[in-house]
Amino acid sequence: MNEKLELSRFLKLVSAAIVLFFLDFGKEVLIPMTLSVILSFLLAPLVRRLRLIGLPSSVSVLMTVFIFAASICFAGLVLGSQVVKLGTSLPQYESTIRDKLRTLNAITLEKLHSVTGKTDFVTDPFSRELATANNDNGLTPQGNKPVAVEVHQPPATPGQLIANILDSVTGPVETIGLVFVMLVFILLERESLRDRFISLIGSNNLRATTVAVDDAARRLSRFFISQFAVNGACGLSITIALAVVGLPQAVLWGVLTGLLRFIPYIGAWIAAGLATLLAFAISPGWELTIATLVVFIVIELLFGHVIEPQLYGHTTGLSPLSVVVAAVFWSCIWGPVGLVLSTPLTLCLVVAGRYISGLNFLGVLLGDESALTLPEKFYQRALAGDSDELIDAAQRYLQRHSVAKYCDSVLIPALRLAQADFSVSAITDEEKHKVGNAIASVLVSLESKAPFWRRRRSSVLDGETLARHLIHERELTHGNYQGPIDVPAGSVILVTGVREQTDELAAEILVRVLRAAHIDARHIFTTDINQPPPDVPSSMVAAVCLVTANSDENHPAMHELVTQIQQKIPQACQLALFIPGDTSQAIQETPCESELIQAFYSYQEITASITRHKAQNPS
């Protein structure tokens, strides 16, 4: 078995090495092919629109590609003309640039020279002693000085100049031509390519594969179109804003920003740095420099944090680290083109990982979705004893949801995972102790919500159950009865677990949930119902909540408790909370439900009911 596992890992490494080799070896073909595929996702919706109005497929494709090529040429002409204008206008700013360079020199280099001059004053005696020693040994600086040699190339002939220009232009022109040729054929045979891909990867389940491929294609097209539109709108906004503040060649910086925004994270700020540097060089004062920088900061923050999340979600579906790693990886293999294509390529890999079982690991490694569910993450951090991270995660969850929902969706399922490991002794006593302390700290934080610098860690002692430890801590804070006893009649909710430590902990969680909802809830044990304290008036009790995690096994105990409550606290309502074993399904029938006034199957249900009853009966 181990040999097969090692062989499988070896084969995966060999496969990865082969893929990397072909990515580098075949980049002359793969780069145009990749560009064509990504552009096909961008242009496919326009092709479909033209076909819907009655144009033939070939005409729709050729018209779409022509419009796109014309747009690229127009953008290139505008960009080139702006660069030429910038080059011709720089001489008129020569005096300003000289003054700014002189100021920078005074601020930086002259001060550095003054510091190094003082250092030379200290080190000069040692240098002179070293030179004297070298002279005594017959070594002179002149004897070791190399002889300068200058090599002059003959001037190039007109034919050589033309050949050099053609060599520099031929490569990009060939690549661009190959991209457009492949783009035309991909758009023409788009349905055929889709069918072949479906037949290749999904012959066993044709329907599911068809749905997956169509959904992935729509998602990628929607994202690329949205990204193209956002980058274009951002460039247009930069152009208008820079023209208003008075920066020369505002169109150049707008177009450059729109293009560089395809480079993740740093693209827009590269354009911002270049534009700010120009403003600094040509303006005698600092107003234009500051205004240019503010324009980029405001517009980039507006598009990056307001418009993009509203248009195509908060993120691209990629984790930030994977975007950075992908940018480094693809730029190392394919150069600048790989840097621009890194995000689209990585997004395609993540989409493939979501729909192709053999590539699931790509979605886990590169996607922004959590590899663990919230309950699994809670239990994993509890095993590590990381209470601070658990509390931070709980507080972030509580910013959008209630404490009751947190317990139903996160805490109780995590406790089920812990209970499953406890039952088979899958964790050590030390890990069990860490889990108990972490859960106690989280439960305490649910009620207090204190900032991180005032958090109080809760530590469960050996031989003490978690529920009893939490009750003891509340008694230390609020008194022996977990609160005052001189309260209005019918204002206290008593909560008790039917039996076992699991029921006691579930009951203590309910107490924390109710107290977080500003309801005076107190945890008692089953023995306290039969023998209540003599100095505590029973009239203050509004309801008694019985909590159980296993209604079938606890049916006799539940029946006995119901009878005792009816005898000892007859005016109190009797409520029951049944924690289902499978949190995705509530218990439909409960053996003891007919004997109770009301039964509930989640913390949200019982909390909402008690809160609603309290609002209707404030006395």
Counting every residue written for the chain, the total comes to 619
Q: Which pLDDT tens digit goes with each residue over 523-569?
A: 888 877 777 777 778 888 888 898 888 765 556 777 788 888 888 88
* 288 Cα distance to chain centroid: 36
Q: Which pLDDT tens digit goes with each residue over 163-196?
A: 666 666 676 777 888 888 888 888 888 878 777 7
Cβ-proximal residues to 403 (8 Å cutoff; 6+ apart), any chain: 446, 512, 513, 516, 517
Per-position DSSP letters for 361-378, written without gaps between them: HHHHHHBSS-SS-HHHHH
What's the pLDDT band for 138 if we cut at 50, 70, 90?
low
Residues 459-464, mean pLDDT to the nearest whole number: 57
Per the prediction, the chain carries an average pLDDT of 77
What's the pLDDT band for 382 if we cut at 50, 70, 90?
confident
Crossing angle of helices 27-52 and 190-201, in 10° steps, is 120
Q: How far apart are CA 235 and CA 366, in angstroms?
A: 29
Q: Going by DSSP bridges, is the β-strand pair 541-548/573-578 parallel, antiparallel, or unpaired?
A: parallel
Report yes or no: 23 and 17 within 8 Å, Cβ to Cβ.
Answer: no
Residue type, 316: T
Residues 191-204, mean pLDDT to the nearest whole number: 71
CB atoms within 10 A of CB 397: 16
Q: How far apart are CA 524 and CA 239, in angstroms?
A: 70
Highest mean pLDDT among 138-152, 192-206, 434-448: 434-448
Q: How far apart are CA 402 and CA 607, in angstroms?
A: 10
Tell the burial category of 219 from Cβ atoms under 10 Å away from its Cβ (0-12, 13-18, 19+). Answer: middle
Q: Which pLDDT tens digit goes with each residue over 15-52?
A: 778 888 888 888 888 888 888 888 888 888 888 888 88
What are the backbone dihedrals phi and psi of residue 497, each rounded to the nearest 5 degrees, phi first? -85, 140
Q: How far apart are CA 394 and CA 107, in angstroms?
A: 51
Helix (H) or strand (E) holding 495: strand 492-497
- 105 versus 133: which is more confidently predicted? 105
What's the pLDDT band for 445 if we cut at 50, 70, 90?
confident
Residue from 480, 481, 496, 393 nearest 445 by CA: 393
Report yes or no: 495 and 547 within 8 Å, Cβ to Cβ.
Answer: yes
